[in-house]
Chain A
Amino acid sequence: MENTLHNKEMRFVYGETLNELIEQNPNVMCLEADLSKASGTNPTVSSKHPANFLNIGVAEANMISIGAGLASEGKIPFCASFTCFASRRVYDQITISVAYANMNVKIVGTAPGVTAGPNGGTHMCFQDLAIMRAMPNMTVLSPCDCYELRACLHWMAAHRGPVYMQLIRMKQPQVFDSTYRFAPCKAVHMRRGNDVTLVSTGYMTPFAMQAADELAKDGIAVDLLHCPSVKPFDAETLVASANRTGGVVTVENQNILGGLGGAVCEILSEQCPVPVKRLGVPDQFGEVATEAYLFEKHGFSVQHIKQACRDIAARRRK
């Protein structure tokens, strides 16, 4: 079963993994705010472990602070909603009830960035990585496939402290397998090369891999770092790579302000100043549209990633 995870929707793996965690530790709980089918926990968790499943209603702020109260009594709540409602809508509840109080609450933001497609501009959240990064005590994760998702969830349940994780809902291309172990603050070296460093996370990693493979055929060797942990960030691996390549491209399913690209620039400007190009959404709101349309409009398709890598490879510090 474990080796066929990639044939399933990510949200289904979320529900199944929560079941595993509940079976290992009855303090683990699944909290929802009227989007339990969308998160993949209804009926997967709600029918198998009804006592550990709590649907709060369309009341995300209430869900987060109830989660904090549950955590104060030793429960380990996983609270899910769309990224927009799990992050920006409840930012003060997360700040005070969860992060400042340092409660063991896990927050799961589903349908990140462009994957919110048909729900459009009001739902398409490009800022959750940035605002969650800016929160003291918070760990910020964005797994790219089912195996990494499952590993992250096991780590989250074992780790004591607030965590925010993006959850892509649909099936994702297989990147890892069941031997994958998640290590916080550790970038994963997906491809090795000396011409340019490419940094990605979550949803963009399969696209970054495609770009790197296509560039390899053109004779450009990409050092590709996938960073499931956006915070804490693996500065050591990044700086070592940038020192070798002399130039960095970042790509994320987010606003280019403050998220992955922001983290990379903060580290490089202090420890290894090199040319950087950030790809993602250039400080704009989302809109109802297909992914292809949005990639094209905002300039972070595979073609754009390749072009940016070529440009940076040409400009890099020699």
Chain B
Amino acid sequence: MTEKFDQEQFDQMAAEWRYIMTDMICRAGSGHLGGALSLVEIVMTLYYRVMRTDPKNPRWDERDRLVLSKGHAAPVLYLALAYQNFFPTSWLKTLNADGTKLPSHADARFVPGVDMTTGSLGQGLSCACGAAYAARMDGKKHRVFCIIGDGESNEGQNWEAAMFAGHHKLDNLVAITDYNKLQIDDFTEKLLTLEPLCDKWRSFGWEVFETDGHDWDAIYDTINAAIAVRGKPAMIIAHTIKAKGCCLVENKPESHNIKVPDQAAYDKFLNAMNTKATLPY
């Protein structure tokens, strides 16, 4: 966590992350671009303004935890961890390469700072519930954050976790739904209705907030309000845009898992980035 917030600097860093992530995925030849780009402001706010962590001691017992349940968005988490010095930025270019420490889905076995291995959708919120329950049992003060996808919310296990957290009043748990309105095959409302999403969570005993997931102040204030909730778990429904910043596929289903078979495709994606940046590797 770095306390100082300078909007211009954050805007620039967000643009940089988007460019680097797209480069990483393009180098790998394919990858989940859209759902990583939609989370940049949220993940950056968590790591730079909210979460207590110690890059020198990634397993520090008092750190705040983050479960990225939509594990396919791992590149955005890897960027946050690299920029926070959990590991060298040179690792970033090895995404998905043979023998890499940075696999396509968030992997706590190989990546310093990743708190939970994910990739099979629907499991992360239950893991976060377990971690939050344990923290409370042990009288520990850290918070557990969990990011789930809107498509991921189709999985019934989320609602089992929702019931558990509501029943046990896990107020050290803050979940965020990356509500970018898209999953793989279609827009979420066309495939399987989620609405009224806020009411669903409320009815499971959660305090529910809504925010613009790309507005720095709104995200920050909402997360703090969610942390302040007592006697209930909190859910933040963050309205986001899938593939934000890559005009070629922004808000399109094709952004989910892009294929980059050759140099021409690579150029096409990087040229489509609204802002360019220098690569840190």
Binding site for B on A (CB under 8 A): 32, 34-38, 42, 55-59, 61-62, 84-85, 89, 118-123, 287-290, 293
> Interface majority SS on B: helix, strand, loop or mixed?
loop
B107 touches A121 (CB 8 A): yes
What sequence of 0s and 1s flags, for each residue 192-213 of chain B, a beta carbon within 8 Å of any chain A beta carbon?
1000000000000000000000
Contact B122 A58 (CB under 8 A): yes
Given A118-B96, A288-B104, 15 more pairs with CB closer than 8 A: A32-B185, A34-B154, A42-B185, A55-B185, A55-B186, A58-B151, A58-B154, A120-B105, A121-B105, A121-B107, A121-B119, A122-B120, A123-B105, A123-B120, A289-B98
In the bound assembly, the distance between CA atoms of A38 and B184 in angstroms comes to: 9
Q: Which residue of A lies closest to B119 (CB)?
A: A122
Whether B99 sits at the interface, judged by CB under 8 Å, is yes
How far does the alpha carbon of A119 sit from the alpha carbon of B120 in the complex, in Å?
A: 11
Residues of B contacting A84 in the complex (Cβ-Cβ under 8 angstroms): 120
Query: Could you list some 11 contacts between A and B, CB below 8 A?
Result: A34-B151, A35-B185, A55-B185, A57-B151, A58-B122, A119-B104, A119-B119, A120-B96, A120-B105, A122-B119, A289-B99
Are B103's CB and A288's CB within 8 A?
yes
Complex formed: what's the CA distance from A315 to B71 in Å? Answer: 47
The answer on a CB contact under 8 Å between B155 and A58 is yes
Q: Within the assembled complex, what's the spacing in Å between the Cα atoms of A36 and B191?
A: 12
Q: Which residue of A lies closest to B104 (CB)?
A: A120
Contacts of B30 in A (CB 8 A): 118
Asked if B154 and A57 make an inter-chain contact with CB atoms under 8 angstroms apart, the answer reads yes
Q: Which of A37, A55, A118, A122 contacts B71 (CB 8 A)?
A: A122
Q: How far is the CA of A122 from the CA of B151 in the complex (A)?
A: 18
- Are A118 and B154 interface neighbours, CB within 8 A? no
Q: Is there an interface contact between A58 and B183, defined as CB atoms closer than 8 Å?
A: yes
Measured between beta carbons, the chain B residues less than 8 angstroms from A118 are 28-31, 96, 104
B residues touching A (Cβ–Cβ < 8 Å)?
28-31, 71, 96, 98-100, 103-105, 107, 117-122, 151-152, 154-156, 183-186, 191-192
Q: Given known contacts A34-B183, A118-B104, is B120 in contact with A85 (CB within 8 Å)? A: yes
User: Known contacts A34-B151, A118-B28, A122-B119; is A61 also within 8 Å of B156 by CB?
Assistant: yes
Chain B residues lying within 8 Å of A62, measured Cβ to Cβ, are 156
The residue that A290 contacts in the complex, of B98, B104, B151, B184, with Cβ under 8 A, is B98
Does B100 contact A288, Cβ atoms closer than 8 Å? yes
B160 CB → nearest A CB, Å? 11
- How far is B185's CA from A38's CA once the two chains are assembled, in angstroms? 9
CB of B17 to closest CB in A, whole Å:
21
Chain A nearest CB, measured from B57 CB (Å): 26
User: B194 → chain A, closest Cβ, in Å?
Assistant: 10
Q: Given contacts A34-B184, A120-B105, A123-B105, is CB(A59)–CB(B117) below 8 Å?
A: no
Q: Which of A32, A35, A122 contacts B118 (CB 8 A)?
A: A122
Q: Which residues from A are CB-within-8-Å of B71?
A: 122
Contact (Cβ within 8 A) B185 A288: no
- Min C-beta distance of A124 to chain B, whole Å: 10
Q: In the bound complex, what is the Cα–Cα distance between A85 and B121 (angstroms)?
A: 10
With A and B bound together, what is the CA distance between A290 and B99 in angstroms?
10
What separation, in Å, do the CA atoms of A123 and B96 have in the docked complex?
Answer: 13
Report the nearest B residue to A292, measured CB to CB: B98
A121 touches B103 (CB 8 A): yes
State whether A58 and B31 are in contact (beta carbons under 8 Å apart), knowing that A32-B185, A120-B103, A122-B105 are contacts in the complex: no
Q: 7 shortest A-B CB distances, which residue pairs?
A: A122-B119, A57-B154, A57-B192, A58-B154, A293-B98, A288-B103, A120-B103
Q: Report the separation of the CA atoms of residues A37 and B191 in the bound assembly, to the nearest whole angstrom.
A: 14
Q: Which chain B residue shows the least CB distance to A59?
A: B154
**Bound Cα distance A37, B100 (Å):** 28
Q: Which residues of chain B are near A61, meaning CB under 8 Å? A: 156
Complex Cα spacing A2 to B99, Å: 41
B154 partner residues in chain A, CB cutoff 8 A: 34, 56-59
Q: Given A120-B119, A121-B103, A123-B119, A34 and B185 touching (CB < 8 A)?
A: yes
Closest to A287 in B: B103
Is B104 touching A59 in the complex (CB atoms < 8 A)? no
Chain B positions within 8 Å of A32 at CB level: 185
Closest-CB distance, A137 to chain B (whole angstroms): 25
- Shortest distance in angstroms between A54's beta carbon and chain B's nearest beta carbon? 11
Q: Inside 8 A of B31's CB, which chain A residues have their CB?
A: 118
CA separation between A62 and B168, bound complex, in Å?
A: 26
Give the complex CA separation of A57 and B149 in angstroms: 13
- Bound CA span A42–B190, Å: 15
Q: Which residue of A lies closest to B254 (CB)?
A: A37
CA distance A140 to B87 in the complex (A): 44
CA distance A7 to B191 in the complex (A): 32
Collect the chain B residues with CB atoms within 8 Å of residue A59's CB: 154-156, 192
Nearest B residue (CB) for A89: B120
Q: How far is the CA of A293 from the CA of B100 in the complex (A)?
A: 12
* Closest beta carbon of chain B to A18's beta carbon, Å: 16
User: Smallest distance from the beta carbon of A69 to chain B beta carbons, Å?
Assistant: 15
In the complex, what residue of chain B is closest to A46 when comparing beta carbons? B185
| Residue numbers in B under 8 Å from A119 (CB-CB) | 104-105, 119
Chain A: which residue is nearest B29 at the CB level? A118
Residues of A within 8 A of B96 (CB): 118, 120, 288
- Chain A residues with CB below 8 A from B117, complex form: 122
- Nearest CB in chain A to that of B193: its residue: A57
Residue in A35, A61, A118, A290 whose Cβ sees the most chain B Cβ within 10 Å: A118
